[in-house]
Chains A and B, each alone.
Chain A
Amino acid sequence: MALTAVNTKKSSQPVQNEEQFVYNTKNLNLWYGEHHALKNINLGIKEKEVTAIIGPSGCGKSTYIKTLNRMIDLVPGVKTNGQIEYRGRDIFSKEFLVEELRTRVGMVFQKPNPFPKSIYENIAFGLKIHGIKNKQIITETVEKSLRGAALWDEVKDRIHEPAYGLSGGQQQRLCIARCLALEPDVILMDEPTSALDPVSTLKVEELIQELKEKYSIIIVTHNMQQAARISDKTAFFLNGEVVEFDSTDTIFNSPADSRTDDYISGRFG
Chain B
Amino acid sequence: MENTARVKSEEMVGRIDGRLMKNKVIKGIFLAATVFTSIILIVLLYRIISQGAPYLSWDFFQNFASRRPEQAGIKAAVIGTLWMMSVVIPTAAILGVGTAIYLEEYAKKNALTRWIQMNISNLAGVPSVVFGLLGLTIFVRVFGFGNSILAAGFTMALLVLPVVIVAAQEAIRAVPKELKEASFGLGATKWQTIYRVVLPYAIPGIATGSILAFSRAIGETAPLIVVGIPTFVAFLPSGYLDSFTALPMQIYNWTSRPQIEFHNLAAAGIIILLGVLILMNSIAVWIRNRYQAR
Contacts and interface: CB of A to CB of B under 8 A. Distances in A.
Interface of A: 69, 71, 74, 76, 99-103, 106-107, 109, 111, 113-116, 125-126, 128-130, 162, 164, 175, 178-179, 182
Could you say which of B109, B185, B294 has the most chain A C-beta atoms within 10 Å of its C-beta?
Answer: B185
Contact of A129 (B109, B180, B187): B187
B192 interface: yes
B186 A182 contact: yes
B185 A71 contact: yes
Main secondary structure of the interface of B (DSSP, over half): helix
Given A99-B189, A113-B178, A128-B196, 6 more contacts: A74-B181, A102-B186, A103-B187, A113-B179, A125-B186, A179-B185
Interface in B165-195: 176, 178-189, 192
12 contacts: A74-B180, A74-B184, A99-B189, A102-B186, A106-B185, A113-B176, A115-B179, A116-B201, A126-B187, A128-B196, A178-B186, A179-B185
Contact of A71 (B176, B184, B196, B197): B184
B181 A109 contact: yes
B294 A116 contact: yes
Bin the interface of chain B by size.
20 to 34
Contacts of A74: 180-181, 184
A41 B288 CA distance: 49
A111 B178 contact: yes
B186 A126 contact: yes
Contacts of B189: 99, 129
Given A116-B201, A116-B294, A125-B196, A100 B178 contact: no
Contacts of B182: 109, 113-115, 175, 178
B196 A129 contact: yes
A131 to B, nearest CB: 10
Given A109-B178, A113-B178, A162 B186 contact: no
A182 B181 contact: no
Contacts of A106: 185-186
B187 A102 contact: yes
Given A113-B178, A175-B182, A162 B294 contact: yes
A100 B187 contact: yes
